[in-house]
Amino acid sequence: MKKIQAYQCAYCSKASASAGAMAQHEAKCKHNPNNLHKVCIGYHKWGFECKDTGVMMYSYHAEKSSVDLKGLVRMPLKCEHNKYMSDDEQAKRFNV
């Protein structure tokens, strides 16, 4: 048996021997509070359209792909227009 140094995600239990790989994971981790969006939008391929403002947005999930996100705004974590789902409803729906 060999002892190694590992880095663990601050938001979930994933671990890696590479600090750089773990930093990339943490930025996109679904448990990272900076990635927990309030959802009040409709889905369109890689983007989402706000039902109240019509602004096209993308979720942090799209950042994991090589999709062109030009013209889209990153979905805000809190939305003043969100009136469709309570926090409990969102947690249940999105397994947060």
Residue 40 has what pLDDT?
A: 46
Residue 66, domain extent? 36-96
pLDDT at 21: 92
Do both 80 and 69 map to the same domain? yes
Determine the pLDDT at residue 9. Answer: 94
Residues 45 and 83 in one domain: yes
Asked whether residue 88 falls in the same domain as residue 44, the answer is yes
25 and 45 together in one domain: no
Same domain, 95 and 72: yes
In this structure, the answer to whether residues 47 and 77 fall within a common structural domain is yes
- Tens digit of pLDDT per residue, the chain (96 long)? 787 889 999 999 899 999 999 999 998 887 888 776 555 445 555 677 777 788 888 877 777 777 778 888 888 777 776 655 666 766 666 665
In a shared domain, residues 63 and 40:
yes
Residues 47, 27 within the same domain: no
Residues 6+ apart with CB under 8 A from 92: none
Is residue 49 located within the same domain as residue 91? yes
What pLDDT shows up at residue 19? 92
Residue 48 burial (CB count, 10 A): 22
When divided into structural domains, the chain yields a total of 2
Per-residue pLDDT, 79: 73
Q: Where are the beta strands (DSSP E) in 38-83?
A: 41-44, 47-50, 56-58, 73-74
| 43 and 22 belong to one structural domain | no
